[in-house]
């Protein structure tokens, strides 16, 4: 069964450093998402992406964050200058429809900012 994959599974970085989290969505999906989950808290929506542009973003997704689909298969989340509070599990998701359809999640990247 097709699945969303994410790399790396774990990343440790120093505060102020840039990180890029990578995702390979399910191949025929057109809608892509990033979520994060701070330890012990709920999963929070960050951004949705369709047709090579951001379709919606939350208040968490400030100027330090950016997303890109650099080629036909990858979908990346970049954090320009990491803060301690960016430490979280980051999940990528994809769906083959927009509203109304199931989102399939990747296994997540655990980011630790020191």
Partner 1 sequence: SQQGEEDPQALSIQEGENATMNCSYKTSINNLQWYRQNSGRGLVHLILIRSNEREKHSGRLRVTLDTSKKSSSLLITASRAADTASYFCATDSSYYGGYQKVTFGIGTKLQVIP
Binding region for partner 1 (CB under 8 A): 31, 33, 35, 41-45, 48, 50, 55-56, 89, 91, 93, 95, 97-108, 110
Closest separation in Å from C-beta 103 to partner 1: 6
Closest separation in Å from C-beta 73 to partner 1: 19
Cβ-based neighbours of 26, under 8 Å, separated by 6 or more: 2, 3, 4, 94, 96, 104
Closer of 1 and 71 to partner 1 (Cβ): 1
Length in residues, the chain: 114
Closest separation in Å from C-beta 49 to partner 1: 9
């Amino acid at each position: 069964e097709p699945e969303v994959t994410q790399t790396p599974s774990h990343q440790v970085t120093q505060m102020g450093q840039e990180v890029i989290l990578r995702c390979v969505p399910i191949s025929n999906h057109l809608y892509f998402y990033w979520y994060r989950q701070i330890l012990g808290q709920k999963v929070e929506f960050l951004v949705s992406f369709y047709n090579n542009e951001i379709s919606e973003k939350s208040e968490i997704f400030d100027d330090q964050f950016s997303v890109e689909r650099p080629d036909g298969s990858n979908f990346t989340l970049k954090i320009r200058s990491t803060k301690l509070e960016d430490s979280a599990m980051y999940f990528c998701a994809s769906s083959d429809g927009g509203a109304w359809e199931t989102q399939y999640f990747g296994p997540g990247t655990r980011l630790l900012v020191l």
